Chains A and B, each alone.
Chain A
């Protein structure tokens, strides 16, 4: 039996995917601007952020309304809870893109400190993690969600390496301090992007299997 509720849930899912696509584009534009030292795309990021903020509010309103009106259970209930949580993660991903944007605006006013090596590696991993976590949600694919979780450690290691390297720059040359700090902030934002993608992947596993794996709540 086709339920009207299914149509509502599907519309909600489409809204969340639209938000995901906007956030992915924001992150992509911010890191591209950083790596290519080109500010052309930054304006679009702020435009996207307004839409993302609007979607965050309307998605939460829909989750509340559907929960109140349909009294969902089981898989439907987990879907609504999961959607509300992923909604929050997506909005925070957008905030991290904005943070990177602001750093790029500052960095572009000064000569490049050093060629970027590990930051592009972090970018590649975070881009994969965000895309895969959203695809895992669309496909209800637990294996793909688990693969996202596995990547988070690499990101943490790269961030530690970047911080160590830039600390060395700052120790040797005080003229590098402001730029090194900005790059550390970028690494920090990328690490946070990985954390949010990880949270989305954990939410996907909850939605699909009803298992809460956060903080090793159950053995993986």
Chain B
């Protein structure tokens, strides 16, 4: 398997606090990689480094390398908006715009200056199909997105990403606001999306990491304690700290 992303010796400081300590992480192409670990371990911070979301935070200092297709995304002169198009993010709370379903999905295209209505319609349909929403919503495209149930809102956010044709999808606790059935739908969608996209997910739900990911990394206090096949992490972790966490003995 090719690595779509390779994080090498990444250090991140928030002022004097070091949140990431020489972290290495490979993210395989067309696979799902999960980051697990207790609150404050640095997993969301690490995820946000992959599309430079941390740049927005004052006082952040980052060194080390994050290679996307072999090129460092922290190199001088990189076009950050272009990077964020290639590497999209889904957040904990669904965050659709206060617009219609259609306009949510079309938003990215319009921002990119595309005005061809047929093209936009095709992309909206394709993206909603890709997020398994088309059959539900094709007759209600003008409905306000904020009126949708939460799991549909979350999948709408995924459709909104798909419309700008990303290569990598980052998911930060994408199911924590969802009930078990809605969670299952999003997980099934992730397994489908994996065929075309590279996915990295941060989750507190260890069963979710076990169910959907091929590889898992366990983080603690800014360190990548252990990275391995998910099947190995959940049956025979090498590090006793990983064992303690996934069996619930930690803390």
Q: Find out whether the CB atom of B234 lies under 8 angstroms from the CB atom of A1.
A: no
Task: Name which of B38-46, B75-83, B242-250 contacts chain A.
Answer: B242-250
Tell me the smallest distance from the CB of A79 to a CB of chain B, in Å: 10
A135, B199: Cα distance in complex, Å: 46
Q: Is the CB of A74 within 8 A of B243?
A: yes
What is the CB-to-nearest-CB distance from A142 to chain B, in angstroms, rounded to a whole number? Answer: 14
Assess whether A54 is interfacial by the CB under 8 Å rule.
no
* A120 within 8 A of partner (CB): no
In the bound complex, CA of A5 to CA of B247 (Å):
10
Contact-residue bracket for chain B: 10 to 19
Residue with the highest number of chain B CB atoms closer than 10 Å, among A5, A71, A75, A77: A75
B246 touching A74 by the CB < 8 A rule? yes
Closest chain A CB from B108 CB (angstroms): 39
Main secondary structure of the interface of B (DSSP, over half): helix
Residues of A within 8 A of B242 (CB): 74
Digit string of B207-242 for contact with A (CB within 8 Å is 1, else 0)? 100100000000000000000000001111100001
In contact, A1 and B235 (Cβ under 8 angstroms): no
Q: Chain A residues near B141 (CB, 8 Å)?
A: none
Let me know if B235 and A72 touch, CB within 8 A: no
A73 CB contact (under 8 Å) in B206, B250, B251: B206
Q: A210 an interface residue at 8 Å Cβ cutoff?
A: yes
In the bound assembly, the distance between CA atoms of A85 and B233 in angstroms comes to: 22
User: Measured between C-beta atoms, what is the minimum distance from A1 to chain B in Å?
Assistant: 6
Please report the C-alpha to C-alpha distance between residue A78 and residue B235 in the assembled complex, in whole angstroms: 7
Select the residue from B206, B236, B237 with max chain A CB neighbours within 10 A.
B236
One of B207, B237, B250, B251 near A74 (C-beta < 8 A): B237
Task: Please give me the residue from chain B that is nearest to A5 by CB atom.
Answer: B248
* Extra pairs beyond A73-B206, A77-B234, A209-B236 (7, CB < 8 Å): A1-B248, A1-B249, A74-B233, A74-B235, A74-B236, A74-B243, A77-B235
Q: Which residues of A pack against B, CB within 8 Å?
A: 1, 3, 5, 71-78, 209-210
Q: List 13 A-B contacts (CB under 8 A).
A: A1-B251, A73-B206, A73-B234, A73-B246, A74-B234, A74-B235, A74-B236, A75-B243, A75-B247, A76-B247, A78-B235, A78-B236, A209-B236
